[in-house]
Structure 1
Amino acid sequence: MDQEEQQPRIRFWPIMIAIFVGSFLCVLASSTITIALPILQDHFETSLSTIQWTMTGFMLAMGTFAPIVGYLGERFSYKWLFTGALIGFTLASFLCAVAWNEYSLIAFRTLQGTFSGLIVPASMAVIYQVIPRERQAMAIALWSLAAMMAPAIGPTLAGWLLQNFAWQWLFLMNLPIGIVAIVLVVMCIPYYRLSVPKKFDGFGLLTVILSSSSLLLALGQGHNWGWGSAGIISLFVFGGAMLIAFIWRELTTETPLLNLRVFAYGRHTLNLLITVILTVSLYSGTLLTPLFLQRIQQVSAMDTGLIMLPASLVMALIMPVIGKLYGSIGPRVLMAIGIPLLALGTLMLSWLSLDVPHSYIVWWMIVRNLGIAMVMMPASNAAMERIPRHLTGHASSISNWLRNVFGSFAIAIFTTLLASRSAQHAQEMAMAGDTNQQHIGMMAFTMSVNDVYLIATAIAAVAFPLALFVRKLKVTDLREKDKLAA
């Protein structure tokens, strides 16, 4: 062990503020670009399919590089990995602001996504390696709050900036926040290093990059290129082969890039499965609600953000309470309440109509977000409770990697379903004698949104019986973990 592993007195709030600001910044960057696409398309005089790569490249890089956090954190320490990623992210934000054409912007956004892919799992690893066990539930509640609030605040903030300033401010606003985050991390997070890899797994790095990028690209472009096209099928086959090679390598090498043996911990694997299932369901709200408001009800991007904001504020208020309750009642009770709330909120959003009042959407988004708050934090914390301290970096890398992959999968599947169901409903209405094309288009899209929300409800319900197996750990279980870690 490193001599500097002797940790100083842990200051909870300074460390959590540093983690919160850093995590919030990188998640915010993934949500502010969406409504700027038409403006960027006009500015650079390019096609929408080209400028969309500012989003695709970001998500692709974020998912591709998340798996190497475990190695980099052990090699350089998680403090300096977190710091370096924040510095890289801030510099990439500046480069995005001075981009001279669409291709330079896509390149710099991809670079920004690379550093974002390091920030989120690194910040999670810091929590489990630095924060005392009795305060980890509260720490994860605050960490989850940063990840969940940013996508809701992002569209409103982006809309205001685009309405009053130039598009460059979407990236320039990251500079002061990034500098503050860097200073906080350097000053507040103690240096520590639990182990140092003996050698670098180059083959593991190559196969994980090839597999992640191929599968994420196939999922992201399947709807545009066609799921049965030669390009998409080739990407899936190649990505699958590289993934098998990566798994084989990591299970047989002495010093794996990503230690897959964390799956031997049943509690971690069960809660990770719950998280993955719910991640797929959660993306329905992120994708469908803004689409419905803007496309069908003609609500501006800024007003869409304002409609979605109350649910995020309620979640912000309830998240610390969930962190407190976790220690007393455990994850099973919280998830047993949260999953039905999430499913109910999603189900009620499957009954949208052309003239549905915004108060209806606001109310059921609040119910839905209450369920999210009561599920995602307990599942994330329960997954890590039995993981030895020296493996938490690898466990957090795997968790965030799978969230990225299945988040991309959810968007791909829901987008495809939205298109196919819209076409089917439009055909049925035309056969029924409706000749108003505008009405057909709006009704068909609304009905397809309802269909997808209904499917998302069923997906969320699948997690409920699994959550009943997640018991509250006894004090003896936690002491046993501490002995193993020592």
Structure 2
Amino acid sequence: MSQPIKKTPILAAFLIAGFVGLFSETALNMALGQLVIELGVEHTTIQWLTTGYLLTLGILVPISGLLIQKFTTRQLFLTSLIFSIIGTIIAGLAPTFAFLLMARIVQAIGTAILLPLMFNTVLLIFPIEKRGSAMGVMGLVIMFAPAISPTVSGIILEYLTWHWIFWTTLPFLVFALIFGYFYMQNVNELTHPKIDVLSVIFSSIGFGGIVYGFSVAGDKGWSSSIVIIALAAGVIGLALFAWRQNNMEKPMINLKVLKYPMFTLGLIAVFIAFMCILSTMILLPLYLQTGLALATFAAGLVLLPGGIINGIFSPIVGRLFDNYGAKVLVMPGFILIGIAFVFFMQIDQQTSQLTIIVLHSVMMIGVSLVMAPAQTNGLNQLPRHLYPDGTALMNTLQQVSGAIGTAVAITIMSSAQASFVTEQGASASSVDAFIYGVQTSFKYAIALAVIGIILSFFIKGKQQTAKQSN
């Protein structure tokens, strides 16, 4: 690191690549119904395009801490872009479901390398008093990309084929690769740790089993033997992984990060917030299209203002964090999320689109107040040598929480729907039953927000965390 670190080009390269990667993660969701018809597969099969992506992330992200210590920043960044580009090209050309699934897995490999590397690099190149602003800008990318993807993919599907979801993103990925080739610098310290095969196996079974079990639970049901076996294997795998890490001199993920209270609190807060986001991102599009009978494009437009507002607020929140700390942001954030859920619990066929826009925007403001501050505050408490472990664990649990949030939301909705039909009998309207299911899901989502509010009482203020980090 003889040459001075140029922070702005490095951050710009990550933001461009991260935006496209996270956009691709959710953009295809709007096309799943169309893909069922075009590719001639069942709904349960097409969900593998999402499940396979999440599963790949759940398996590979935990290994990222090891990769960051074994390869340079530049090597990993360029490798992640190459995987993303190859996956995008395969997807754009995919003639069958098998090709498209393979493409999604290749794309996910790129994202699994990129996200932890991005967080770790920000921690290394920005001083502690500037990290909030940097994380806020990253929050803009992390939340804004999936927020606008339904609208953009809705426009694409209105006028073009689903292949163009991938062809549209390809030029941006190529630009990010070229930009990174010239401007990305090596900032990480290489320790060249040995790859422990048992750790990789236990991690893959543990995180992979949990992600897969929750991902298919909404479709197969919690009593399915596949779901039970996957979750049981996941729990056993995680227990063996934790045991293995605690008994190694140089673990794959150093679980000593959990001994830092503010990191653990931040981890849980981000976990809860991500569950809230993902459950809402699955419930609201379904409600808009089934309950309010909106077209795909129109449903995407209703959710667009919330994504834009979140994008605007994220950098502002980052600067507020640098000045005031996490405590004064995270608590109001969870309160706003809870308030939005209370009103979402009452939506029906008569609810106006404007009401949904306002409530979704309030929730997204709350999310911006929670995500970056909780994440940055937690990672700030770690010593420098534990940054790769902290970022790997936090990014892994985000993927796990996404799978759990989606599965729980769908399961509660389906169960409530069925009970409504049973109680009402033949007179039950399918739309009324569906809306009742959505309302019930939001009731349980309120509990998540309440847990988040309670946790926020234990987050320390700026002066306290400054003393602790010193």
In structure 2, which of residues 444, 454, 461 is the aligned counterpart of residue 465 of structure 1? 454
Name the residue aligned to 1:58: 53
Give the structure 2 partner of residue 45 of structure 1: 40
Question: Secondary structure in 2 aligned to 1:134?
Answer: coil
Aligned: 1:145 with 2:134: no
Asked whether 1:412 is paired with 2:419, we answer no
Cα deviation, 1:79-110, whole Å, max 9, x if unaligned, reads 32122111111111101112231112112212
Letter in structure 2 aligned against 1:453: F
Deviations 1:292-328 (A, max 9, x none): 0011211111111111111111122222211111122
In structure 2, the partner of 1:267 is 262
Matching residue of 1:443? 432
In structure 1, what is the equivalent of residue 173 of structure 2? 178
2:350 counterpart residue number: 355
Q: Secondary structure at the match of 2:129?
A: helix
Map of 1:309 onto structure 2: 304
* Partner in structure 2 of residue 10 of structure 1: 6
Question: 5+ residue gaps in structure 2?
Answer: none
Q: What's the CA shift string for 1:211-267, capped at 9, x where partnerless?
A: 222221111112322322222222222222221111111111122111211111111
2:119 equivalent in structure 1: 124
* Cα pair 1:10 1:131 within 8 Å, conserved: no
Match of 1:35 among 30, 43, 62: 30
Check if 1:243 corresponds to 2:218. no
Which residue of structure 1 lines up, in the alignment, with residue 444 of structure 2? 455
- Per the TM alignment, residue 472 of structure 1 is displaced from its structure 2 partner at its CA by 2.7
Scaled by the length of structure 2, the TM-score of the pair is 0.96
Report Cα offsets for 1:456-480 as digits up to 9, x if no partner: 11211111122122123439946x7
Cα distance in 2 for partners of 1:426, 1:188 equals 59
Distance in 2 of aligned mates of 1:338 and 1:277 = 12
1:38-77 CA-partner distances (Å, limit 9, x unpaired) = 2222222222222221111111111211101111011002
* 2:333 pairs with 1:368: no
Amino acid at match of 1:462: I
Measured in 1, the distance between the counterparts of 2:465 and 2:447 equals 37
Displacement of 1:481 in angstroms is 4.4
Q: Does the CA-based 8 Å contact 2:131-2:322 persist in structure 1?
A: no
Distance 1:476 1:458, change over 3 A: closer
Q: Is the 8 A contact 1:8 1:190 kept in 2?
A: no
2:192 aligned with 1:197: yes
Confirm or deny: 8 A CA contact 2:69 2:189 kept in the other structure.
yes
CA contact (8 A) 2:14 2:118 kept: yes
| Secondary structure, aligned partner of 2:325 | helix
Gaps of at least 5 residues in structure 1 are none
1:181 deviation in Å? 1.4
What's the C-alpha RMSD, in Å, of the aligned pairs? 1.8
2:267–2:378 CA contact under 8 A, matched in 1:
yes
Which residue does 2:387 correspond to in 1?
392
Measured against aligned partners, the alpha-carbon deviations of 1:97-143 in whole angstroms (never above 9, x if no partner) come to 12231112112212212221221111111110122322210111111
Q: Offset at 1:388?
A: 1.5
CA contact under 8 A between 2:5 and 2:185: conserved in structure 1?
no
Matched, 1:98 2:93: yes
- Deviation, structure 1 residue 8: 0.9
**In the alignment, what sits opposite 1:69?**
64
CA–CA distance in structure 2, aligned partners of residues 420 and 335 of structure 1: 32
Q: Secondary structure of 1:232's match?
A: helix
Q: How many angstroms apart in 1 are the aligned matches of 2:46 and 2:223?
A: 24
Classify the secondary structure of the residue corresponding to 1:40. helix
1:342–1:368 Cα contact (<8 Å) kept: yes
Query: SS of the residue aligned with 1:194?
Result: coil
Query: TM-score, structure 1 length as denominator?
Result: 0.93
Q: What's the secondary structure of 1:196's corresponding residue?
A: coil
Structure 1's 278 and 353: CA in aligned 2 closer, same or farther, altered over 3 A?
A: same
8 Å Cα contact 2:381/2:465 also seen in 1:
no
Task: Name the CA distance, whole Å, in 2 between partners of 1:344 and 1:62.
Answer: 32
| 1:161 maps onto 2:156 in alignment | yes
Shift of 1:7: 5.5
Matched to 2:338, the amino acid is A
SS at match of 1:351: coil
Provide the C-alpha distance between the structure 2 equivalents of 1:340 and 1:456, rounded to a whole number of angstroms: 13
